[in-house]
Structure 1
Amino acid sequence: MTEEIPLLGGDVTEGVVRVGETVRRPLGDHSPLVHTVLRHLEVVGFDGAPRLLGIDEQGREILTFVDGEVAGRPWPEWVADEERACSVARLARRLDDVMLPLGLPDGAEPVDTQGPGPVPTFVGHRDFTPENTVFRDGQAVAVIDFDLAGPVSRVQEVSNLLLWWGAWMPVPDREPVMQEVDAADRGRAVVRAYGLDATETAQVVPVARYLAERSWRRMRDRARRDGGGWARMWDEGVGDKIRRRQAWLAENAEDLADALRS
């Protein structure tokens, strides 16, 4: 029997292992949508995501293992590199471009029409963390872990990128390698690399502020409902961290918006 090697670093999903050149992951309520997305990406020939191979005898999904460099905790110094961040933005743009034709398939959560900015029209990854991004030769080549995939607009997808790759949070709450990053300058670089137009760019800051508020509510509700890793993160203070991010975004909104416009 091929050895199962635990793949660590995820905040919520437990029991993820590597078996040879495959990855085995537990199924969940999110799995039908994730499988729809991965099958679509295979059909259109997108090379920046794992392939779904089926379900194993233990009821786990089987995915291809994507070889490359992935960040662990604490984040390595290269996460702070601007060109790396821009390469993630370009990868996200390629992914979103090929996801647009799929639209919002059955199984996608209801579209949130309450916030500012464009209404979501396609399924985005929504979790482009350094732990979920695979690099080769200093460039982002693939994204893994589609468990949080759901309806987004381009502006919302970029707002998620800025949280992780733009240092859009208070300095004390950042990983050590990101504490010297200028959030305004990095935000401008990431937005330009993704390729938002002027109208979309003007919506980034208000959308980021709205998503922070929505994130607090969702994290609280999932901690109460689902327990597990969600409850652990909530107990460790993620709700307070999100509240601090809300305050930081409000305080720096004008400077961030000016940087994106410049």
Structure 2
Amino acid sequence: MCEEEPLTGGNVSASVVRVGDTVRKPAVESTASVAAFLAHLRDAGFPHAPSSAGIDERGRHVLEYVPATMSDRLPPMTVPELRRLGGLIRLLHDTAETFVPSDEARWDVVIPPDRVELICHHDLAPWNLVRDGDRWVFIDWDGAGPGSRLWDLAYAAHGFVPLHPGGDPDIDAPRLRALADGYGLDAEQRAALPVLIVDHVRGMHDLLVEGARTGRQPWARLHAEGHARHWGPAAEYVRRHLDVWRQALIMSPDAAGHRTMTPESGA
């Protein structure tokens, strides 16, 4: 076997190593279900997830190693890149819609979604997207499980727009619009998305606070490292400017280019 190279940079996964052209990570209760989902994505022709190769002799999940740069180490996405990202997430969800989990499926979804429509990634963020030219691949599917299209997209908006404390709504609003346009949200979805962003970001803050209270790992450790100090203010930033996000999402395409916000008659 090739030499094992520890991989660093993640906040949650422990003992993750590279072995040749594979990644090995400890198998957990949800691994079999995640592997089945990844196999479905591969068989359906979705190229933006690593392939799964089962369990090795040490009980570790074997995944394709994708040689690329993590998105959080690159400059923020441009508006065209945000549109492309929205289209990629739409393709993921459209492909996932035909996946039927087994009756024995087990998942590890740490923040309860708004509703269940399909299997989602649940951590679509710059630290889980590797980019190498035209190939963009989402990694770290351990938290995949039942959720909704908008719940997944809301989390992506926080990380990729980004919608962070100290942001500028005049800059962030058209970037959020680009993500939504790339996904192809309809009018009803555009109206619902901003509140779900607040709810999902607040849910991450609450998870960290509860982890600190109960000692549940890795959330207690992440809280001790100060992560909650980001997520709480981030939720407040999004909540404080809900009207701005709503107007940006429903303005007509012509108005979007001129920053004049007028409701459109349809999506």
Same fold (TM over 0.5): yes
Quote the residue 2:74 is aligned against: 76
Matched, 1:221 2:210: yes
What is the aligned partner in structure 2 of residue 107 from structure 1?
106
Q: 1:71 Cα deviation (Å)?
A: 3.3
The SS at the match of 1:46 is coil
Change (3 A) 1:103 1:121: farther
Corresponding residue number in structure 2 for 1:98:
95
Residue aligned with 2:33, SS: helix
- Aligned residue-pair number: 247
Structure 1 vs Structure 2: percent identity of aligned residues? Answer: 28
Deviations 1:194-245 (A, max 9, x none): 1111111110011112222322232333453532x32221112222322212
TM-score normalised per structure 2: 0.83
Match of 1:206 among 175, 192, 195: 195
Mark the runs of 5 or more structure 2 residues left unpaired by the alignment.
252-267
- Is the alpha carbon distance of 1:104 and 1:112 closer, same or farther for their aligned partners in structure 2, counting shifts above 3 Å? farther
| Structure of higher CA gyration radius | 2
Contact 1:213–1:246 under 8 Å retained in 2: yes
TM-aligned CA deviation for residue 85 of structure 1: 2.6
Which region of structure 1 is more displaced relative to structure 2, 61-70 or 104-113? 104-113
Match of 1:131 among 120, 127, 133: 127
User: Please, which of 224, 233, 236 is the counterpart of residue 222 of structure 2?
Assistant: 233
Encode CA deviations 1:162-206: one digit per residue, 9 max, x unaligned: 01111112127xxxxxx8981111100001011111111110011
Contact 1:216–1:239 (CA<8 Å) still a contact in 2? yes
Give 1:158's match in structure 2, choosing from 133, 137, 153: 153
| Residue 265 of structure 2: aligned partner | none
- Offset, 1:32: 2.8
Partner Cα distance (1:103, 1:58) in 2: 29
**Distance across 2 between alignment mates of 1:124 and 1:196:** 17
Question: 1-side partners of 2:145 and 2:88: how far apart?
Answer: 17
| Equivalent-residue separation in structure 1 for 2:211 and 2:221 (angstroms) | 11
Task: Please report the TM-score for the alignment, with normalisation by the length of structure 1.
Answer: 0.85
3-state SS in 2 of match to 1:226: coil
CA shift at 1:21, angstroms?
Answer: 0.9
